[in-house]
Amino acid sequence: MSEIPFPYLQNDSDRVALIEGDVSYTYSTVNARINRFATGLLGDQEDLQEERIAFFMPASFDYVTTMHGVWRAGGIAVPLNVASAVSELDHYLTSASVTRMIANAEYQETLRELCDSLNIQLVSVEDVLADEAGSLPEIAAERRAMMLFTSGTTNKPKGVVCTHHTIRAQITTLIDAWAWTEDDVIPLFLPLHHIHGIVNILSCGLWAGATVHLFAKFDIPKISEQIVAGTYNVFMAVPTIYVKLIQYFDTIDAAELQKICDGFKDMRLNISGSAACPVKLFNQWKDLTGQVLLERYGMTEIGMGISNPYNGERRAGAVGQPLPGVECQLFDEYDSPITEEAIPGEIRIKGDNVFLEYWDNDAATNESFKDGWFCTGDVAVVEDGYYRIMGRSSVDIIKSGGYKLSALEIEGTLLTHDDISEVAVIGVEDDTWGEAVTAFVAVKDGATLEYDALKQWCDGKMSSYKIPKTLILIDALPRNAMGKVTKPGLKEML
């Protein structure tokens, strides 16, 4: 068997791998169940030959069983977002030509009609498990292993295909860079259709022989209880989670708050990613917990590419430096490499961490590579050796009055306003400016905000050409499952 060789999942280790609720599972137990599941998937076949098998479940023992079982049987794992609408699932399943869907009882009724219409077999983990493990195929590292769909914040989601070799590179790079060991214990509450939860937390944890606590959703009271108890020494989340924690802190008494903050303080590592971490949030978290958030940069197609150092300076507003084994270069709009600092350019990536292809979409695959470099579509600058993300070239770089403006930079400044709870900035076509800076703002409960007052507040905090030309008040920003703002949705509001 040559699927991704997770060291602790290839032996009879009695170390605890997973904790779900009150139940613990050792690496030995997990390994044995994966083999039984893989055997059941195969039936009378010797190899699934890259059959696409989707699964629809949150973080759970069943999820781990399914993903690794598909890998060991020679299939392509297609994890889906349990928060997806039926129309979105239809796109994913159809695009990937999925033949089987694994979902447990609580989700099956929701999925049955769709699966029937697409002629997809709908089964549970228990339905598939063989009574005992059988012979499993040898899986070459170059074989396709997993298909994740892009977030769809700028266009229709595409199936991103990674090989076993790719996933191994993504994992082992982070094991070294973030100093994972078998002594680590981490909660996993992020949705498991995304690289953050799948690779950065679950896969790194299982590779290192660590213990992963599985939560179907982010449960602040339960997780806080474990933090106070000193259970976790690593914590990874998206910025929205850190914001929710800070909001929760405002609802509890000072003594309980101190216990939770002390629990975070004792951890060896807190990481923020999947969306830009505002400098204000970075500083708030440091003031509360003493933890200097490690911000990093990655995407579905590359795993993680850039990271602030585990040992060394972690800069607010920066994502750090290229990870070991990852080549990173900024290019200008004429495809020439940028060699000077402080000049914006598109991030392009090379390395074993880069995906193989967009599924059944040669045109999109070819368009995304230039001279062997994967073109991320993200614009950054390098300042004193550290990369700072300015945003997506298509939605976050605003060309206004002859300037190229970073929407993320403007958003970061606006978030320091006492009355603003969240904000998104976009460029709107304008006869005078080319694109006019437009701010969508949600204010805190009981607060009000008018444009003239905001403009006056901005004076001295940002250059005049960066100040929003229009203010639009909304109740909440449209976001996807990972907390990323879907900016095309804002343009639709207009």
Q: What is the pLDDT of residues 74-95, one digit of tens each?
A: 999 999 999 887 888 999 999 9
Neighbour-count burial for 74-83, b at 16+ CB within 10 Å, e otherwise = bbbbbbbbbe
Per-residue model confidence (pLDDT) at position 329: 98
Helix, coil or strand: residue 326: strand
Distance CA(351)–CA(406), nearest Å, equals: 27
The class of domain 202-392 in CATH terms is alpha beta
Model confidence at 250: pLDDT above 80:
yes
Q: Which amino acid, one-letter code, is at 291?
A: Q
The bridge status of strand 357-358 relative to strand 159-163 is antiparallel
- In the numeric block, the tokens 């996933």 are attached to 167
**Exposed, middle or buried: residue 29 (CB in 10 Å: 0-12, 13-18, 19+)?**
middle
* pTM for the model: 0.87
- In the numeric block, the tokens 């290229």 are attached to 322
Model confidence at 1: pLDDT above 60:
no
Distance CA(447)–CA(442), nearest Å, equals: 10
Distance CA(294)–CA(239), nearest Å, equals: 12
361 neighbors 158 (Cβ within 8 angstroms): yes
CA 105 centroid distance within chain: 27
Distance CA(28)–CA(10), nearest Å, equals: 8
Domain ranges of the chain: 202-392, 397-493
Q: Pull the structure tokens for residue 184.
A: 């680590």
State residue 360 phi and psi, 5-degree precision. 55, 35
Q: Pull the structure tokens for residue 31.
A: 């390994």
pLDDT band at 461 (very low <50, low <70, confident <90, very high): confident
Per-residue model confidence (pLDDT) at position 153: 54
Domain 397-493: give its CATH architecture. Answer: 2-Layer Sandwich (3.30)
Q: Which amino acid, one-letter code, is at 145?
A: A
Mean pLDDT of 348-377: 97
Q: Among 375, 4, 376, 357, which Cα is nearest to 169's?
A: 4
**pLDDT tens, residue by residue, 179-237:** 999 999 999 999 899 999 999 999 999 999 999 999 999 999 999 999 999 999 999 99
